[in-house]
Amino acid sequence: MAVVRVVLLAGGVGGAKLAEGLQQLLGERLTVVGNVGDDFELWGLTICPDLDTLMYTLAGAASAETGWGVAGDTFAALEMMARYGEEVWFRLGDRDLATHVLRTALLRQGWRLTEVTAHLAARLGARARLLPVTDAPVRTRVLTDEGELAFQEYFVRRRWQPAVRAIRFAGAEEARPTPEVCSALASAEAVVIAPSNPFVSVEPILAVGDVRARLRALEAPVVAVTPIVGGEAIKGPAAKMCRELGEEPSALAVARRYADFIDAFVLDARDAALAPAVEALGLRVVVADTMMFDPESRRRVARAALEAVGVEP
Amino acid sequence: MAVVRVVLLAGGVGGAKLAEGLQQLLGERLTVVGNVGDDFELWGLTICPDLDTLMYTLAGAASAETGWGVAGDTFAALEMMARYGEEVWFRLGDRDLATHVLRTALLRQGWRLTEVTAHLAARLGARARLLPVTDAPVRTRVLTDEGELAFQEYFVRRRWQPAVRAIRFAGAEEARPTPEVCSALASAEAVVIAPSNPFVSVEPILAVGDVRARLRALEAPVVAVTPIVGGEAIKGPAAKMCRELGEEPSALAVARRYADFIDAFVLDARDAALAPAVEALGLRVVVADTMMFDPESRRRVARAALEAVGVEP
């Protein structure tokens, strides 16, 4: 069997599930490129929520209830922060805090985020390779009817309630994808776009330097898995954002946003009726049950994505 | 009753007990000046073990079993650090970690250590005022038969087993006591030296700039409480250090080290026979039971110290 190398572009929780499914099929032949637009600083610590969710999930250490954070984590440090009068709307667990403390220390010692991420993920036992799309700071900013908010302010503190008017990725244009990301893309047999929020998980990856142009120019096929099923997001604000940004929330709308660089699209069985419209965009369509709730269903969706681009793991 | 202002110079666990006893008698009229020679950096965090022990004890939040750390603290973050392959010989609890993270963040924002300490101690509910002796970095270095060790390497990692040849306080000469410390000393009715380790808890305070000269010049009386009882330290390596540095471990040896700036000495009842020799140094002696194991006994020793300098709380 040929060695198949696959690159997955992913945000947090939803993307991590597919990452874990693909890791089951591909092991170390999988490279996951994570979004860093969610990253922020809290108490001087550099926190990378999407990378961490991917890392914990790939290492089998993620909380099954929430999808983010470390399984069985406690919140003693956060309670202490509250005693000190600090705001504690970002739910940092104690084990999770260790990740941020160590990452920040290594970054201050001059390590690249790529190196820190590889070190932490390997120590925790992830088999797939995990890469931040860039080592440069990129910060998603959400322009809402309450003003422009940093991503975590919008997403966690305000629980994505303010209406979104526009989204920008500060620093993305100047940022460059890392050499590791460029070479992973160049040597990939297929690229998969996770069923992550297009607006705030996938597009901040595409916006980094020439990533979108690189995908467009790629000979290897690119497939996206729908994050919208029956007009609703599986999780999070993707459908709400669609509406607020003047689009109808549907898998078709997502396929349209990606049509310039993808070759195939995995549609959920409940949206099978959309297949002709997606095919009309010039895309190969695979219809599958895209719900991921356990290892078996994650593996199933991973298999459907690879099937859509003719890759046999 | 006149407002009595008292300054206590203290190290960690033993000093904190007397600090708490004095706080019972004096409340906010007590100022505690803490040693910073134990401070060190771990994972980029500034850790101040003596200030924290004083703070937690004054706030009623200290662990009763160990004397250091926060009561009921957990060690989830440290376990995670171990998973990442980090050395975890310094037992950082989760609640304690929050203190270091917040302190480091505030210091990086430009706060002085004095301001950070005041903020944290007030939030936790300490009534006494807690001051680091200086805002400058002072680091106790222990020259041992295994080479020169940073204080925590010697004390925690090597459990004070290497034989001590000499001790130095890097940065102490260039450091200055803070304006807050100078004014607290200038307005004190009495100064108390805690029954802390003379070599590594009290002397690194005295070594900061002109602190020792200031105490010598003070009109207000200065009293020290013995850290050595019956030739042994109540806790820690004070007696062992005495022997290694060529002195007989005794309360008298301690009184001699302090004789240039103290006026009175509290001797434990078991060492009553030493009273004439201590008095021969020109010191007023009070003999008392100096064991502190509960709030009542802490108050008792605090009362004996104040009595030795004629202060009625």
Contact list, A115 vs chain B (CB under 8 Å): none
Distance in angstroms (rounded) separating the CA atoms of residues A52 and A152: 15
Q: The domain A6-142+170-308 is classified under which CATH number: 3.30.70.120, 3.40.50.10680, 1.20.1250.20, 3.90.1150.10? A: 3.40.50.10680
Tens-place pLDDT, residues B84-106: 999 999 999 999 999 999 999 99
Nearest-by-Cβ selection for A80 from B83, B99, B119:
B99
B73 CB within 8 Å of a chain A CB:
yes
Q: Kindly list the residues from chain A whose CB atom is less than 8 angstroms away from the CB atom of residue B96.
A: 80
Residues in B 41-70 with any Cβ partner in A closer than 8 A: 43-45, 70
- Per-residue model confidence (pLDDT) at position B1: 43
Chain B 140-159, CB below 8 Å of chain A: which residues? none
The DSSP H or E segment spanning A101 is helix A94-108
Q: A119 vs chain B: nearest CA distance in angstroms? A: 8
User: What is the per-residue burial (b if ≥16 Cβ within 10 Å, else e) of A248-271?
Assistant: ebbbbbbbebbeebbbbbbbbeeb
- pTM for the whole structure: 0.94
Query: Which is nearest to B17 in space by CA: B308, B232, B312, B299?
Result: B299
- Integer Rg of chain B from CA: 18
For residues B302 and B23, give the distance between their C-alpha atoms in angstroms, rounded to a whole number: 9
Question: Tens digits of per-residue pLDDT, B250-305?
Answer: 999 999 999 999 999 999 999 999 999 999 999 999 999 999 999 999 999 999 99
User: One digit per residue, pLDDT tens: chain A, 313 residues?
Assistant: 456 799 999 998 889 999 999 999 999 999 999 999 999 999 999 999 999 999 999 999 998 888 889 999 999 999 999 999 999 999 999 999 999 999 999 999 999 999 999 999 999 999 999 999 999 999 999 999 999 999 999 988 888 999 999 999 999 999 999 999 999 999 999 999 999 999 999 999 999 999 999 999 999 999 999 999 998 887 788 889 889 988 889 999 999 999 999 999 999 999 999 999 999 999 999 999 999 999 999 999 999 999 999 888 7
Give how far B94 is from chain A: nearest CA, Å.
Answer: 5
Phi-psi region at B205: left, alpha or beta (left = phi > 0; alpha = psi -120 to 50): alpha
Note which residues in 91-120 of chain B have CB less than 8 A from chain A: 93-99, 101-102, 104-105, 108, 119-120
Q: Do A105 and B80 touch (CB under 8 A)?
A: no
Nearest CB to B45: which of A80, A99, A101?
A: A101
Which three-class secondary structure state does DSSP give residue A165? Answer: strand
How many angstroms separate the CA atoms of A120 and A129, rounded?
11
Chain B CB contacts of A97 under 8 Å are: 77, 94, 97, 101
Please judge whether A74 and B70 are an interchain contact, meaning their C-beta atoms are less than 8 angstroms apart.
Answer: no
